[in-house]
Structure 1
Amino acid sequence: MLDIKVKSFKEFDIEELYDVLRLRSEIFVVEQDCVYQDIDGKDSKAIHIIGYKNKTVVAYTRIFKAGDYFDQASIGRVAVQEDYRKFGYGKVIMKASITAVQEHFNENEIKISAQKYLTQFYTDLGFKSTGEEYLEDGIPHIAMMKK
């Protein structure tokens, strides 16, 4: 089972922040071979959903209220450490994130910018593709909405 914690940016301790940034860098920069600015100045506005297994950060997302990232509430930086993906932790962290959007922002409409190859994963969670495919940091993406 994944232990989920929901925190504002100010609630992070230095070790947790380091672990989250390490996980994001490991996946979005190294694994996906994508040079981009992960530390984008938006973390202080986000609520952070952190998944722990045996006190180790293995899954993560950040959520935003409507207007802070997109016009709608949103979920982003969805990350699960490679060795833990086989356990379904991606769906666990996303379901926790959807719940957090509802509880923290009283919103049901959620927008994501999904990597194209994960369309079915997000469809299974109730998201629907909107618009055309586009490149974000050199990776094919598609906008998706959950209402």
Structure 2
Amino acid sequence: MADQAQDGGGEALDLASRLTIDHHQSLKLWLRMLSCTVRIENEIRSRLRETFDITLPRFDLMAQLERHPEGLRMGELSKRMMVTGGNITGITDLLEREKLVLRVPDPKDRRAFSVKLTDAGRAAFAEMAAVHERWIEELLCDVAVDDKARLIELLSQMKRHLDAG
């Protein structure tokens, strides 16, 4: 319990609460970041399902396509989303049945296809993205603006260090 008090944690159990004073600070940091990420992600998953009847992976795929109106090849989607090609195929199949995305032949390689948002997909994603942004704002509203800026800077430094590693 001393570790929870030191970390500012309450009685709620999470990955970081299992640590003791003897664990390395880096491990504590990693588990605290993971715990926060998992809590936010679980809440967003639940809200997406309840509000839009869509899964987080489907939302994420649409988000990738929204940023690339020219479309993305399946392999590129797999790389960007860090999931297998089979997962991308399954998600794309579902979205295509719902007329939210379409596969188009790649003009540079006739054996390959790019995936694009349809007009209906673009409209649906725009609505979901606006609501999603409000949810994130709500979930992080108790973090002061200066603290958010500092956290962004610190995590950016960490990412640069990991990318250089």
Q: Which has the higher strand share?
A: 1
Q: Greater Rg, structure 1 or structure 2?
A: 2
TM-score band by shorter chain is under 0.3
Higher helix share: 2
Which gives a bigger RCO, structure 1 or 2 (Cα 8 Å, sep 6+)?
1
TM-score scaled by length of structure 1 = 0.26
